[in-house]
A and B are shown apart, each in its own frame.
Chain A
């Protein structure tokens, strides 16, 4: 984990969450820019997980190794699944679905950062 990258992921994810809630309040399905933004967020999340897993492979041992690995892998699937679920019925609630996934990405990244302390 890189602190600056993790905080960036949190910030980007919170924007995605807010965006999803705004379109839900406005009673609109997510627009193209919004979906592209979510895809971009997923790329950054992927990069973060790969970097962290490489560091684990190189011998870094955080306090809770199993939990950390679970989070690093689990966080990657959230946005793609939410993307599919949000697009299979496009209503205002698609934005809520994206917001839920983005909130989880932010929370998990923050938790990963807290766990990323050498044993």
Chain B
């Protein structure tokens, strides 16, 4: 941590300000999805193994995102970017599959139908997460304009 590049006072930490609320929502979904996955796997694994394993995977992704966003170090930012990206791909993939091929998902997961069972928060959350990570990224030297387009191709969120 200390060997990383200079601390940048301009960009807020991922756990600060609006990040506080974001981490709270992530924490809530970490609890909800993990508890749901564990309960379902323990009590009724045979009914829909794929859906239940996915619930648990989603829960773990939320846990990783919660912890890394709350820490906000250079390393944890990178892990958070991966977790939130996986989350976005997951909700889009599972959401689409659950509508196209409902038989693959006889039981709902947090990501089924793009998270409609949770007020579509699972669909909005990764988008907010990526925007927040972009907003809080360390600025090389003193960039005053925070809304300038990213010159490096490393973090395209599309």
Q: What residues of B have a CB within 8 angstroms of the CB of A93 in the complex? A: 17-18, 20-21
Q: Which residue of A lies closest to B20 (CB)?
A: A93
Total contacting residues, chain A, CB less than 8 A: 19
> Bound complex: CA of A97 vs CA of B20, how far in Å?
7
B16 close to chain A: CB less than 8 A:
yes
In the complex, number of A-B residue pairs with CB atoms less than 8 Å apart:
43
A66 close to chain B: CB less than 8 A:
yes
Given contacts A66-B39, A74-B35, contact A100 B20 (CB under 8 A): no
Majority DSSP secondary structure for residues of B touching A: helix
Separation in Å of the A111 CB from the closest CB of chain B? Answer: 11
A104 close to chain B: CB less than 8 A:
yes
> B28 contacts A101, CB within 8 Å?
yes
Contact with A along B41-55 (1 / 0, CB 8 A): 011000000000000
A82 close to chain B: CB less than 8 A:
yes
> A96 contacts B31, CB within 8 Å?
no
Contact with B along A59-100 (1 / 0, CB 8 A): 000000011001000100110011001100101011011001
Q: B residues touching A (Cβ–Cβ < 8 Å)?
A: 15-18, 20-21, 23-25, 27-28, 31-32, 35-36, 39, 42-43
